[in-house]
Amino acid sequence: MDMIPPPNCRLVRWVALAALIGIVLGAGPPADDLPPLPDTAQPAPGTEIPWPTPFAIPDRAEAELRPTPLRRPIDLPPLPAWPPLLTPEFQQFFQTPWDPPIGYTGPTSVVPREGQQDPHFIPLEDRWRTGFPEWDRYGKGHPVNDDYPYMPGRINDPFNQNVLKGDYPIIGQHLFLDVNALAFTFQEYRQIPTATTPFESTARPNEANFFGRPNQYFSQSFFVLAVDLMHGDAAFKPADWKIRLAPTFNVNNLSVQELGIVSPNVLQGTSRTREFWALQEAFLETKIADVSPDYDFVSVRLGTQPFVSDFRGFLFADVNRAIRFFGTRNANRDQWNVAYFRQWEKDTNSFLNTFNDRRQNLVFANYFRQDFLVPGYTSQVSFSFNNDPRSYKFDNNRFLVRPDPVGVARPHEIDVAYFGWAGDGHFGRYNITHQFYEAFGRDSLNPLAGQAQTINAQMFAIEGSYDRDWARFKVSFFYSSGDHNINNSHATGFDTILDAPNFAGGPFSYWNRQAIPLFGVNLVQRLSLVPDLRSSKIQGQSNFVNPGLLLPNFGVDFDLTPKLKMINNCNFLFFDSTNVLEQFLFQGDIHKFIGTDLSTGFDYRPLLSENVNIILGLSVLIPGQGFKDLYDNFDSSVGALFAGFLFLNFAY
């Protein structure tokens, strides 16, 4: 080589040997001959990056897989020009290519405080935006519709990691923003026994029957923008504090075929459309203390917030104004809640909260124990209290809802407590869910009984299921006690506070989904199982003088594909006691068999996530003799009642 000195030049030999040792040890030429280092460890965009040794120079294929943050591989800048070996332009510190973080990170707010000071360490102060190499697993060239690990995202991609859904901090290392936009709607066709108005005006001339045409069309559309701002680590460790706001807009429509349904004023016709806006959720949550090194904590949440009292929502499931203390114990094996609710009044047609005080006071306390007795089974004990004072209320459609428009119809106060025990889990491939409630208290003046009542009522539900490949077979039973003597002072019919049970078919079931009216009250409320003869679930008062229910259920669910699920149920419905109905309707010998409820539903998730849901439900109630005793006309018998709904959900 021309650079090698002649063998007889000893001084030149020593200089070359020193230079070679410097190359091997990473010393490089004198610092005075090097270009100045930039302020940070990363060079400015567009500058050439010198590499210290041939062993650190990647090939172009590797460099093309390592773009700068938030850039696609096809947007790579040209490769830097590699300086020749042993020139004074190479840097003294080893540097690696900067891989992009996965997902959509947004800009970082963490300003580097120091540059690289050591050849073995590179400072990376924003620990959330650590890079990952691009990986084209199948060599397809990153087509748009394929999913790849370690792939940079887009701002409109809610499935992969995204700074807008709390995966990366927006300020510093601990402040996160989670934005959810939801639009969901359901369109429902149903047949419900619908009373006529023969003493006022009728939709058609010469109508004299109590019940007219049953066809109704009902639709609801909700638009929600929920924003969460939280401070914490976003994983394992509970948030230090959190603020959530969820403004909600609703549009609803009801079209029927009889007068006096959308309003007691028959001049309002047979159709009603309403809009309503609500701040459905608005709360502040803060952690009070860490109680163990296993991230056990105690927190408090103040404001309008969601709460479900048990596993399946048998007693209370609502979003309302409350102060709630909650936490965990024993490395999150135990969870507990203590909450006080002061209920907002509900809007009649949208079921959303208003800013009017309902004056109803609720107290809840529950304790969960995971792996109770055996692994996989969770047990819960609970105490709930409902104080619903005297009030007088017409709803937004001008119907009387408090007190119930039956019997004496005078304002009265209810004080009732519930003791509950529940369990949910599995024993191998066998799953079980059960719930028991004992209700006791006092009603100062029950409208149906016409006197004060001492309350003592029970509810019990159990479901067992077995998973066999892609099918789940279910058997369940629901019982709510009825009142066997309306004329005494003991109310033994069970009623809930504000329930929404996911049981025996849930919203797919005709009996559960539909509010079936009966002369001023409802035989059963919408999204409820208990036949409580109450004016309204969301605005009326609990009524413990009711017929009760016995419901055996058989069902099977099929996972037809990873995207499509089928839900099938068969319910047999019986009154526990018909004494209350016989007195209420002045009718004797009402049979206990209500009928058979058959339902099927399909849940389709085209994106394999909850971002898009399409749910279709079909159900039919085949009336039994007890239902016919209530709803038959003079000249005709009530036939099978059909219902169907389509639910569309879009979430970001």
The answer to whether residue 353 is domain-embedded is yes
Is pLDDT at 388 greater than 50 in this prediction?
A: yes
Q: Which H/E stretch holds residue 643?
A: strand 641-651
Query: pLDDT tens digits, residue range 257-308?
Result: 999 999 998 889 999 999 999 999 999 999 999 999 988 999 999 999 999 9
The answer to whether residue 193 is domain-embedded is no
Interior/surface letters 279-312, b for 16+ CB within 10 angstroms, e for the rest: ebbbbebebeeeeeeeebbbbebebbbebbbbbb
User: Quick one: 280 and 165 in the same domain?
Assistant: no
The answer to whether residue 14 is domain-embedded is no
603 contacts 613 by C-beta, under 8 angstroms: yes
Is pLDDT at 67 greater than 70 in this prediction?
A: no
Query: pLDDT tens digits, residue range 391-441?
Result: 999 999 999 999 999 999 999 999 999 999 999 999 988 999 999 999 999
* Residue in the structure block whose two tokens are 């491939």: 429
* Whole-number pLDDT of residue 199: 65
Per-range mean pLDDT, top range of 13-17, 80-84, 501-505, 584-588: 501-505
Interior/surface letters 322-340, b for 16+ CB within 10 angstroms, e for the rest: bebbbbbbeebebbbbbbe
540 contacts 552 by C-beta, under 8 angstroms: no
Is pLDDT at 63 greater than 50 in this prediction?
A: no
d(Cα 533, Cα 404) in Å, to the nearest integer? 9
Among 123, 150, 173, the domain boundary falls at 173
Among 173, 206, 225, the domain boundary falls at 173
User: Quick one: 274 and 146 in the same domain?
Assistant: no
What's the structural domain count of the chain?
2
Residue 379 pLDDT level (bands cut at 50, 70, 90)? very high
Residue 70 pLDDT level (bands cut at 50, 70, 90)? very low
Lowest mean pLDDT among 47-51, 173-177, 335-339, 383-387: 47-51
Domain that holds residue 56: 34-173
The answer to whether residue 411 is domain-embedded is yes
Query: pLDDT tens digits, residue range 296-330?
Result: 999 999 999 999 999 999 999 999 999 999 999 99
User: Quick one: 159 and 281 in the same domain?
Assistant: no
Residue 41 pLDDT level (bands cut at 50, 70, 90)? very low
Mean pLDDT of 340-345: 97
d(Cα 272, Cα 116) in Å, to the nearest integer? 69
Two structure tokens written together for 284? 């502040």
* Whole-number pLDDT of residue 138: 77
Query: pLDDT tens digits, residue range 457-514?
Result: 999 999 999 999 999 999 999 999 999 999 999 999 999 999 999 999 999 999 999 9
The answer to whether residue 7 is domain-embedded is no
* Whole-number pLDDT of residue 156: 83
User: Quick one: 165 and 280 in the same domain?
Assistant: no
User: Quick one: 168 and 274 in the same domain?
Assistant: no
Rounded to the nearest integer, the mean pLDDT of the chain is 85
Among 173, 199, 231, the domain boundary falls at 173
> Which of the pair, 452 or 150, is modelled with greater confidence?
452
Give the chain's radius of gyration (CA, Å).
Answer: 34
361 contacts 387 by C-beta, under 8 angstroms: yes
pTM listed for this prediction: 0.83
The answer to whether residue 251 is domain-embedded is no
The answer to whether residue 17 is domain-embedded is no
Residue 135 pLDDT level (bands cut at 50, 70, 90)? confident
CATH number at residue 422: 2.40.160.100
CA quadruple 144, 149, 150, 153: dihedral positive or negative? positive
The answer to whether residue 496 is domain-embedded is yes
Residue 93 pLDDT level (bands cut at 50, 70, 90)? low
